Amino acid sequence: MLADNFYVIQSFEPEAEKLKARIEFDLDGKVLNANALFLDLVEYTLDEVKGRHHSLFVTPEERESAAYKSFWADLLAGQ
């Protein structure tokens, strides 16, 4: 029974992933990959964002904010 339930859950994972906007960055904050949903939301293609810095997606004001800098510093530190 438990094995059957696990199989059912696993079978939904690929479909569930289509509902999540995802982007991946390297340790320098550069885009490695993004899924179609994320790219549709930001209205870019993968070729346009791949290798670009995450600051591409925020305003200059947000980029300079303490909260933004702190968020990325904490993330880089593994927090």
CA distance 57 to 28: 15
What are the sequence ranges of the domains in the chain? 2-76
Question: What CATH number was assigned to the domain covering residues 2-76?
Answer: 3.30.450.20
Q: Which amino acid is at 72?
A: W
CA distance 40 to 42: 6
70, 66, 25, 37 alpha-carbon torsion, rounded to 10°: 120
Residue 2, both tokens: 């438990």
**27-55 tens-digit pLDDT:** 899 999 999 999 999 999 999 999 999 99
Residue whose tokens read 């591409």: 56
Q: What is the pLDDT of residue 53?
A: 96
**4-19 tens-digit pLDDT:** 666 656 666 666 667 8
